[in-house]
Every structure is written in C-alpha cells, then in structure tokens.
C-alpha cells in the first residue's frame, strides 16, 4: 500500500513536470521504449523470490529512491534492478532503500531521463538511444558494428571510454552508476530474409528515435521509420512498416512472430543500458553512501549482464520453434563496408571516441 501511494505521488509529480516541460518548450526527443516481457529463461534463471517482490525490504530507510525501467517484472532489467536495491540496502545498513517501478510505470525513453533531470524520478535504467538526446557523446555507442561481442562492449564501458562518457554525462547533470545489458540487434520483416545490404533496399524498417540509427538504415538503403516500441506490432500488422530491428528478447516477448515471417541474425548494433541518476541527487549523499551506490550498481550490472546473456542464448531457438524463417548472416563484411559512410557522417562529432574504442577492442 505504501508503495502504491508513492507511485501515485510520482505519477502525479511526473504529470505536473511534463506539463511544465511542455509549457517551457522542452525539446528533448522521447526515445522509443515500452514495457516488454522478459524471456522464459530469465524467469527460470532468476531467484524464485524475484517473482514475488519488486524491491528489497526497505527496513527503517532514511531515504527511498525511485528506479524506473521499461521491462516487465520477468525481464532481466527487473532482476538487475532488484539486485541493485538489495545491495544498496545491504551496503548502507538499510538506511537507503530503492523502490523499483517496472514496465514504464513512471515514464519511458527520453521522458524518464528528463524526469531524472527535473528531480521527479531518482534513477532511470534507460537505453543509449534515449541518453543520446541529453548526452550527445553517448551516441557513439549506437554506431553499427562497433563491437563484435558483449565482452568487448563492457571492456570499453567499464574502462577509460566509459569514464569519458560518465564525465560527459556529469557535465550535463547526470551520474551514470553503471552499464547494464540490452543486447545485439537483429532484423525481422514480413517480406524476405536479409542476407546482404541489397535486401534492405526499400524495406520500411522501424528504428528507435536516434540520429545514428536513422543514418545507418538510410545508408543501407532501407526506409527507416522511427516509432515507439508499443506501436510496432500494430504497424507491422497493418503493413505500415515491413519490419523492425531489436535484440531477440523483444522479438520473442512482443510476439513479433505473429506478424513477421523472417528473422535475420545481423547483430548490427550492440546497445547497453545505462543506470542514470541526477548528479545533484548523487552529490547529496555522503562519500560513503556514494561509494555504496556505485559498488551496488556495478555488482548488480555484472549479475544482470550474465543473466541476460545466458537468456539470449536460448531465444533464437524459441524464434525457430515459433515457425519463423531464421537465417544467420555469417559474413557481415558487405554490411560493414556499406555503413562506412555512417562513420564519415559522425566523424567530426565522435572521431576521437571512435578511435579510442577501436583501439580498446583490438
């Protein structure tokens, strides 16, 4: 009941903030994010008690932080968020509690980050596409074929480049507590298998609201159509778009097999999920509590990454079992060559960061 009242208060505050934002001419673009259910494997792999509760016990908390994410209660985002809440409580002796709000209960996409910025929401687990609207440097992570595997990505994000992006975020008033796992993105559609860039020519593909994503699919010859995830199923059903691109978990759990006959494993972009807090809010805590929050976040991220990766290994079989025509593009060299103009287009904006990332993954 207490959490329900807190949620109502947060929603009312968010609504008021949104109204004030609209009056004030806020222009941050809302990224596409919607509640998605987690995989069956994630549900089975996570601790059983996660099915019964959404936060660690608050005890006699002096401070309660709200954390919003877009995943369902069975999604790895939820398990990672719950683990973060548990660790924060443990490391602060119960003085700081974290209440987790799954399924975009407070907001989603860029709007949730805007609420963090305004102090309406304490913490947002959001995509790099959403974060790019507030911290442009983070957009470098959305470039195609930047990483060959998740280990490379997190070596970069947990290293010097990640520190640079954290610093850029702090300059904009945000604290990135950690980087969680979203995944490699593949392409599905209702027309044909994608085996090379030429197969994308003229296909209407839904993409997130990110300049990098738009440029990438324009360069590949597709007709990129930005829209919210919540609109994608209906858009494909009505043939407004031919297909979409996302990590396999979203295809499985949003039942895109009902409207798409083809699933092509392209792994064209890897996306991480930063856990974002207002820098002012973070700085309001003591040095010891700041350390506890950062340690809890990193430990929770490592837990969530493993859980998500282990779940992803099973999803391709689920897609096949659903009767979808699955093809794995083993040689992506033609795609990589085709998207070089994307790197040229963003060279002035991301040039140094691109070089640092490429050097780090060699």
CATH code: domain 186-269+316-360 is 3.40.190.170
Nearest to residue 55, comparing CAs of 3, 5, 91, 7? 3
Q: What is the pLDDT of residues 59-86, one digit of tens each?
A: 579 999 999 998 878 788 999 999 999 9
Residue 206 has pLDDT above 80, yes or no: yes
Q: Which part of the chain has CATH 3.40.190.170?
A: 2-181+272-313, 186-269+316-360
Q: 331-336 long-range contacts, Cβ below 8 Å, gap at least 24?
A: 332/145, 332/266, 332/267, 332/268, 334/196, 334/197, 335/144, 335/145, 335/196, 335/197, 335/220, 335/266, 335/268, 336/144, 336/145
264 C-beta neighbours (distance < 10 Å), count: 23
Predicted pLDDT of residue 45: 46
Predicted pLDDT of residue 40: 41
191 C-beta neighbours (distance < 10 Å), count: 15
Strands 186-189 and 262-265: antiparallel
Residue 305 has pLDDT above 80, yes or no: yes
Q: Is the dihedral of CA 207, 340, 148, 181 positive or negative?
A: negative
State the average pLDDT for the chain.
Answer: 87
Residue 247 has pLDDT above 60, yes or no: yes
Stretch among 28-37, 200-209, 315-324 having the lowest mean pLDDT? 28-37
pLDDT bracket for residue 13 (50, 70, 90):
low
Q: 308-311 long-range contacts, Cβ below 8 Å, gap at least 24?
A: 308/42, 308/76, 308/80, 308/180, 308/181, 308/183, 308/249, 309/150, 309/181, 310/41, 310/45, 311/38, 311/39, 311/41, 311/42, 311/45, 311/76, 311/249
pLDDT bracket for residue 47 (50, 70, 90):
very low
CA–CA gap between residue 92 and residue 7 (Å, rounded): 23
pLDDT bracket for residue 342 (50, 70, 90):
very high
At residue 182, what are phi and psi to the nearest 5 degrees? -110, -60
* Mean pLDDT (whole number) for 166-178: 98
* Mean pLDDT (whole number) for 298-318: 92
Check residues 223 and 5 and name the one with the higher pLDDT: 223
Nearest to residue 153, comparing CAs of 126, 125, 185, 195? 185
Predicted pLDDT of residue 219: 98
| Assigned CATH topology for domain 2-181+272-313 | D-Maltodextrin-Binding Protein; domain 2 (3.40.190)
The conformation of residue 31, written as its DSSP 8-state character, comes to P
Predicted pLDDT of residue 22: 44
Ranked by mean pLDDT, which of 39-48, 174-183, 230-239 comes out on top? 174-183
SS3 assignment, position 221: coil
Query: pTM for the complete prediction?
Result: 0.83
The conformation of residue 114, written as its DSSP 8-state character, comes to H
């Amino acid at each position: 009941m207490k959490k329900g009242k807190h949620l109502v208060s947060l929603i009312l505050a968010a609504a008021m903030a949104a109204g004030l934002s609209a009056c004030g001419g806020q222009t941050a673009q809302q990224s596409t994010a919607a509640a998605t259910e987690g995989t069956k494997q994630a549900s089975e792999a996570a601790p059983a008690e996660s099915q019964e509760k959404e936060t660690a016990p608050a005890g006699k908390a002096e401070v309660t932080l709200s954390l919003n994410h877009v995943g369902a209660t069975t999604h790895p985002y939820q398990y990672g968020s719950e683990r973060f809440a548990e660790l924060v409580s443990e490391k602060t002796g119960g003085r700081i509690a974290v209440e987790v709000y799954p399924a975009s209960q407070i907001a989603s996409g860029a709007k949730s980050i805007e609420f963090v910025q305004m102090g309406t929401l304490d913490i947002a687990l959001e995509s790099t596409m959403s974060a790019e609207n507030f911290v442009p440097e983070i957009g470098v992570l959305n470039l195609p074929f930047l990483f060959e595997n998740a280990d490379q990505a997190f070596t970069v994000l947990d290293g010097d480049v990640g520190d640079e992006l954290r610093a850029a975020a702090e300059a904009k008033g945000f604290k990135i507590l950690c980087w969680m796992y979203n995944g490699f993105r593949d392409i599905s559609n209702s027309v044909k298998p994608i085996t090379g860039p030429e197969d994308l020519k003229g296909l209407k593909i839904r993409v997130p609201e990110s300049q990098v994503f738009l440029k990438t699919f324009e360069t590949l010859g597709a007709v990129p159509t930005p829209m919210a995830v919540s609109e994608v199923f209906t858009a494909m059903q009505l043939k407004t778009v031919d297909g979409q691109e996302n990590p396999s978990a979203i295809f499985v759990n949003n039942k895109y097999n009902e409207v798409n006959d083809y699933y092509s494993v392209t792994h064209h972009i890897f996306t991480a999920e930063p856990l974002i807090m207002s820098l002012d809010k973070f700085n309001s805590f003591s040095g010891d509590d700041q350390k506890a929050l950062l340690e809890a976040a990193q430990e929770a991220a490592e837990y969530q990454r493993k859980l998500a990766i282990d779940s992803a290994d099973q999803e391709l079989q689920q897609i096949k079992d659903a009767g979808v025509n699955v093809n794995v593009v083993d040689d992506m060299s033609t795609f990589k060559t085709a998207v070089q103009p994307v790197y040229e287009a963003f060279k002035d904006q991301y040039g140094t960061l691109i070089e640092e990332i490429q050097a780090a993954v060699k």
